[in-house]
């Protein structure tokens, strides 16, 4: 039923229910915070944090994280072992976005954190990843006006209960004081990306995203997702934003896969 067709009473009930849900959520969060206070135990191994850290990770887990390092592909942000400026992927493909940057290589500890956020429902991990992503944004001198996250269809979001990219975008937006807009809509379900190659991924995502917000016009957009694999999702979302009038699109993801071709671990990442 649309809002227009709902009676005043039903709308009032809906608003009351939302307020009640919010209030219950707040009580629940303060209860959980009292039971499991943040920044006391490590998000990854659960050990007590002995050295003060803004990342909610113990020293040992921090050391296990693989950062991308200083020399990365100028477009996709993948670590480069030689002196080239562009990786093989970006030498051969024209991307719709200006660049992607990620703090981590999608491997071991970073993958573990992202999996526990997405598939384990540990939403608080978005806070930790968001802190690293905000640092990466500042370090790589990106200059954007609005953050937009990669959307899910309603059914996909209902199934998971949340959209991890939205959680990451809200963390990053909050830390950088940047507005976060739900400017993109995913118009249809897409086949799982993990078994597809780069070209097939692009075909699979063709016209799957639409920009529905005029506010993107003339703005520099920061597109946020969890993992960057081939750039197919990033390109499809960027194309929709550019079509909507965005000036340009930069991408910020928690982790980038080292592999040029998606030989993934069968983990069902959204593979941006």
Give the residues lining the site for Zn ion (CB under 5 A): 42, 44-45, 47, 58, 61, 73, 75-76, 87, 89-90
Cα-based distances in Å from 136 to 112, 160, 191: 20, 27, 31
| H/E element, 181 | strand 180-181
Round to whole Å and give the CA distance between 188 and 117.
Answer: 24
Q: Which is nearer to Zn ion, 75 or 183 (CB)?
A: 75
Round to whole Å and give the CA distance between 179 and 55.
Answer: 23
Minimum separation from the CB atom of position 239 to Zn ion (A): 18
CB of 152 within 8 A of CB of 169? no
Distance of CA 99 to the CA centre of its chain: 15
Q: Which is nearer to Zn ion, 216 or 236 (CB)?
A: 236
Q: Which is nearer to Zn ion, 44 or 181 (CB)?
A: 44
Cα-based distances in Å from 99 to 7, 34, 94, 149, 262: 48, 41, 11, 15, 19
Minimum separation from the CB atom of position 91 to Zn ion (A): 8
Minimum separation from the CB atom of position 235 to Zn ion (A): 12
Return the axis-axis angle of helices 164-176 and 125-139, rounded to nearest 10°.
50
What DSSP designation does 214 have? G
What DSSP designation does 47 have? P
Q: Which is nearer to Zn ion, 44 or 147 (CB)?
A: 44
Minimum separation from the CB atom of position 76 to Zn ion (A): 3
What DSSP designation does 120 have? S
Q: Which is nearer to Zn ion, 31 or 67 (CB)?
A: 67
Minimum separation from the CB atom of position 199 to Zn ion (A): 16
Q: Which is nearer to Zn ion, 180 or 272 (CB)?
A: 272
Round to whole Å and give the CA distance between 55 and 38.
Answer: 10
Minimum separation from the CB atom of position 263 to Zn ion (A): 17
């Amino acid at each position: 039923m649309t809002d227009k067709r709902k009676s005043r009473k039903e709308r009032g009930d809906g608003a009351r229910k939302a307020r009640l849900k919010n209030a219950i959520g707040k009580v629940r969060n303060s209860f959980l915070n009292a039971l499991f206070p943040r920044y006391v135990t490590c998000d990854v191994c659960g050990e007590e944090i002995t050295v003060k850290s803004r990342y909610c990770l113990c020293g040992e887990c921090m050391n296990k994280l693989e950062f991308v390092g200083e020399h990365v592909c100028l477009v996709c942000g993948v670590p480069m072992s030689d002196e080239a400026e562009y990786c093989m992927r970006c030498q051969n493909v024209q991307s719709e976005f200006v660049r992607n940057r990620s703090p981590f290589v999608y491997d071991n500890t970073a993958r573990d954190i992202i999996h526990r956020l997405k598939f384990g429902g540990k939403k608080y991990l978005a806070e930790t990843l968001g802190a690293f992503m905000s640092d990466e944004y500042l370090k790589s001198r990106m200059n954007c006006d609005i953050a937009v996250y990669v959307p899910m269809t309603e059914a996909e979001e209902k199934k998971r209960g949340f959209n991890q990219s939205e959680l990451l975008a809200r963390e990053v937006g909050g830390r950088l004081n940047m507005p976060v807009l739900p400017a993109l809509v995913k118009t249809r379900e897409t086949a799982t990306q993990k078994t597809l190659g780069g070209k097939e991924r692009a075909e699979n995502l063709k016209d799957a995203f639409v920009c529905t917000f005029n506010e993107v016009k003339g703005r520099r957009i920061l597109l946020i997702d969890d993992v960057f694999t081939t750039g197919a999702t990033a390109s499809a979302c960027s194309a929709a934003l550019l079509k909507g009038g965005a000036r340009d699109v930069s991408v910020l993801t928690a982790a980038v896969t080292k592999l040029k071709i998606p030989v993934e671990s069968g983990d069902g990442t959204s593979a941006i």
